[in-house]
Chain A
Amino acid sequence: MSSETAPIVQIRNVSKTYRRGSQAIKVLENISLDIKEGEFLALMGPSGSGKSTLLNLLAGIDSVDSGSVTIGGIDITKLSETDLAGWRAVNVGFIFQFYNLIPVLTAFGNVELPLVLTTLTKKERREHVEMALRVVGLADRMDHYPGQLSGGQQQRVAIARAVVTDPVILVADEPTGDLDRVSAAEILDLISRLNRELGKTIIMVTHDPRAAEKARIILHLDKGIFADVPS
């Protein structure tokens, strides 16, 4: 990565092994990576290559066996579970493959969810939510429940939820994996716009080469190591 500014994400010598019964499966092996602020990175690789695991580690939802993950100057591997939860609430926005919206909440309620943990007043929360839904083009659907929205619209709500707290990084795990071609293209355009126009740092895992093309950097993982050494 560029050496002009300090990278916002620094991964150093990270290894991760999962255990299934007596069997140890090495998923990541001594991985190091720097990601600059405002970057859009796509992680590709076959199933089981460790890309989702890497995404989970730098999003603070899984723990390393060894090595360090520093985001915005904080080594998150040193944080307690409670501190890590608080850190995630402020610093990471998540976009999942299956949207993971709460079905009993409206689009508005789903986007408001991460703001519940902040000190914002109800009025301020409303303003933030409306802004986020406007950004994703769903201002007119805020009272709709997930079941009343198409897959593409649900993913837009999920993106609004991811950006509403203005996080340091956005992580997306196969964000178009459950969408038809047209919806997938719209979602990718939206994610690209977030990176281009709002300067969001985005790390996206994908199998889809068309999705990866939207990223500025594409890295391939294979059997827990980078197939192409990051420059």
Chain B
Amino acid sequence: MYLLNLIFRNIFRHKLRTGLTILGITIAILSFGLLRTVIDAFYAGVEASSSTRLVTRNAISLIFPLPVSHKDKIRQIAGVQLVSWGNWFGGVYIDEKNFFPNFAVDPKSYLELYPEFVLPEDQKAAFFRDRKGFVAGRKLAAKYGWKPGDTVTLRGTIFPGQWDMVMRGIYKGRDHTVDESQFFFQWAYLNESIKKSAPLRSEQVGFYMIGVTNPSIAADVAANIDKAFKNSIAETLTETEKAFQMSWITMSEAIVIAIRLVSFVVIFIIMAVMANTMAMTARERIGEYAVFKTLGFGRWHIAGLIFGESLLISLIGCACGIALTFPAAKAFGAELSIFFPVFLVSDETIIMDISAAIVVGLIAGIFPTWRSIRIRIADGLRRIG
């Protein structure tokens, strides 16, 4: 208790230096926390994916469609419980900068496959009834001020034209990991429209979403689906939803690696700053440590004083950094909600923040402790005066 009290008092002997070091650690932990949250946001889709859902797409590439008739054959494969389908619509709302994911889907099967999109029953029924109806996530609706009954026009980029739709519902996520910025409308509306304007592109889907009865048979079901369409005009590639989401991340892996690297560089830099602070502190107190040794304090006491001070400074900075990470992440997430619809500070990030602070505190204390312990008492006492 006495030594703890002494550590506390020592910390604020050089208020400016300690204050600046704590500020540095706060900023480093804040940056580290935000960068880790950005990485988590990349993986949010993977985290939210279900182990009972498969994605089937054209084996050549995702941009090539599959015939809608595949659905009947897929339904007959053992282990398949539910089949839904859809297209990436790629529509633009007023201006290109208003980007949000928009899909044409088969509403009933799709919402059944995605129970995490929670929609009131009356809105759900209204959506099912209206061919030109659409539903949007809570965040997206709030962003543009849409409410049920509003007409929204999307400009098609993949499917040219002006697409008028009426909002029939606003879904919310079952939990905080669900993306609430998506837009779904009826695939039938898309199909019927393009049947008139581009008949060759009709009766085709971009992907199938398949629900399986048991996660343990997902791999076998996927293999059987692909086998069923082997040597057909549109061969398929089926994978779990998680693997499908991961394939998107793989495309931007270099960015993720760079962010991860930068997050550790930030910690490394603050470690150097912290080590410098502790080295200066210990150098100034060499004489004092000699007095402690003279009075009978051992090397463990000296180590405790230095490591204690180093850890305390680091943890104070860490606590401030964590406290700031939450509002910063909220502001950051709101600003970039289009790119990172789920931007939440995870428990793992907080644990990593604390671990980083402990590592910084310990490493920064090593050299000054080693130096202070090694110095002879008589030499240390000569530094005073």
A interface list, Cβ under 8 A from B: 53, 56, 59, 61-62, 81-82, 85-90, 94, 96-98, 100, 102-105, 112-114, 116-117, 161, 178
Contacts and interface: CB of A to CB of B under 8 A. Distances in A.
Contacts of A103: 13
Contact of B6 (A56, A88, A102, A178): A102
Q: Main SS of the interface on chain A?
A: helix
B295 A88 contact: yes
Contacts of A90: 296
A90 to B, nearest CB: 7
22 contacts: A53-B378, A56-B378, A61-B293, A61-B381, A62-B376, A62-B378, A85-B297, A85-B298, A86-B296, A86-B298, A89-B296, A89-B297, A90-B296, A96-B291, A100-B291, A102-B6, A102-B288, A104-B10, A112-B2, A114-B296, A116-B3, A117-B297
B377 interface: yes
Given A89-B297, A114-B295, A161-B295, 8 more contacts: A61-B378, A62-B377, A85-B293, A87-B296, A90-B296, A97-B385, A102-B6, A114-B296
Interface residues of B, number: 23
Interface in B344-385: 376-378, 381, 384-385
A88 B10 contact: no
A162 to B, nearest CB: 9
Interface in B289-335: 291-299
B293 A98 contact: no
A113 B295 contact: yes
A88 to B, nearest CB: 5
Nearest to A93: B295
Given A56-B378, A98-B384, A116 B294 contact: no
A1 B311 CA distance: 53
A41 B293 CA distance: 25
A55 to B, nearest CB: 10
Contacts of A161: 295
Given A62-B376, A112-B2, A104 B384 contact: no
Given A61-B378, A100-B287, A94 B294 contact: yes
A47 B364 CA distance: 39
B9 interface: yes
Contact of B385 (A53, A88, A98): A98
Contacts of A105: 6, 9
Q: What 3 pairs across the A-B complex have the smallest Cβ distances?
A: A89-B296, A104-B9, A61-B377
